[in-house]
Structure 1
Amino acid sequence: MTSKLLGARTLGALAALTVVALPAVGDAQSARSSSNQPIAFGADSGEQAADRISLRGRAEVTQGQNRLRADAITLYRNAAGDPERVEATGTVYFVTPTQSMRGDRAVYSLSNGELVVTGNVILNQGQNVLTGGRLSYNVNTDAATMSGAPRGGAAGSRVQGVFYPNGTN
């Protein structure tokens, strides 16, 4: 994927964010922690304030083998400057080595590794596909819970999926 990297001045200000943890699925239980891996940022534009960093236009945050991509990404920091939450809007993708999630909005809580994707959610794992209105996914445990869209929503109120048994193509 091609995206412009933020300017050196903005990127330097973002360097303090190397403590952000987007743990790699599967690596979370291993001795090797992705929280020690560098974080890469990319966007068409970006800005920084005391409590947040905003990325706009083909925004992307990667760490280890996980990637969060969206039209806009905002990383919120606490008073000490430590990252607390990442919010992504527009067409949102969260991709791990084994699965990908797509939705209209995502909120990632760094303290507990919980990613919540809402709005026309699609979860892919290999050929298996699950759709719904809200996905709660824990990057540390790989646990996922899908719920349907609210009644009257464009996607209806059902969770739907297609699963292929082992050996079936």
Structure 2
Amino acid sequence: MSIEARTPCDIRTYRSPDDATATFDVFQTAIRQTAASVYEPDQVEAWAGPARTDLSNWDTRRREAATLVAEVEGAVVGFADLTSDGLVDMVFVHPRVGGKGIARALLTAVIRAARARGLTELRTFASRSAQPAFERLGFVVVADRPDNMVRGVAVPNAEMRRNLA
């Protein structure tokens, strides 16, 4: 599905297994570069995990969620997951296109998809670097999570929700 012409990217559904490597690379790069500006090195390493891994589990997770992929000129530059219960599980954008409306396009598409499914609320656990993007689209913080643990390291985030009614 394509977003309006003014949006700097095309949004489409995840293609398994073709998109596994590209989306994993976006995930790794976004954490190691964008999130590194607001998290300590040990937090970044814990969150990002191994730089290379068997992508079969990654691919399965993307297939199980309704994953949307953002492309610019045919290259994957971002993705977002929406689970059946309304969790926006992941939203990641490659740093080279950060600040250009890619996250907004992905989240707008997620909101549309959620409404089409009849969901009345979305929730997410937003990193410090992602929180402003979610706030711009009407998500509100319902709880700070300073003790969120990832691979034994505290990686603070915030639980956020957005009413779709």
TM-score (norm 2): 0.35
In terms of fraction of residues, the more strand-rich structure is 1
Choose 1 or 2 for highest CA Rg: 1
